[in-house]
Amino acid sequence: MAKLCSCCSMPAQYSLALLLSTVGMSRRIQKCSRVVLFCNDCIHALRENELWGTNALCNAFNRAYTATKQAFNERSSAPVTTR
Ligand SMILES: [Zn+2]
């Protein structure tokens, strides 16, 4: 079955994933979003700065951000272990 564009449900030709990383930590936290699929027309619209507010992209970003934030909080609250 053909994969469909997240915006217009035409057959997808591109997939986009967001990689979110912390900066300035000794061991960086890095989370990749799920991929969001786009057709040729919609990826062009994205390039023209349209479509960045689409639900699929926002959800992908939110999940990556939430996962990063959660990992950050877990690390912050983890007891210090001596090795
Ligand atoms: Zn499309």
C-alpha–C-alpha distance, residues 71 and 51, integer Å: 29
Asked if residue 33 belongs to a domain, the reply is: yes
Token readout for 41 is 């027309």
Structural domains counted in the chain: 1
Is 19 a domain residue? yes
On whether residue 8 sits in a domain, the answer given is no
CA 48 / ligand 1 centre spacing (Å): 14
- Evaluate whether residue 6 is within a structural domain: no
Amino acid at 76: S
Distance 16 CA to ligand 1 centre (A): 13
Q: Is residue 3 part of a domain?
A: no
Measured distance CA(47)–CA(50) in Å, rounded: 7
**pLDDT tens track for 13-61:** 999 999 999 999 888 999 999 999 999 999 999 988 887 778 888 999 9
CA of 78 to the centre of ligand 1 (A): 43
pTM comes to 0.77
Asked if the structure places residue 2 within a domain, the reply is no
What residues pack around ion ligand 1 (CB closer than 5 A)? 5, 7-8, 10, 39, 42
Whether residue 70 is contained in a domain is answered as yes
Domain range holding 45?
Answer: 14-77
**23 within domain boundaries:** yes
Whole-number Å distance between alpha carbons of 54 and 5: 12
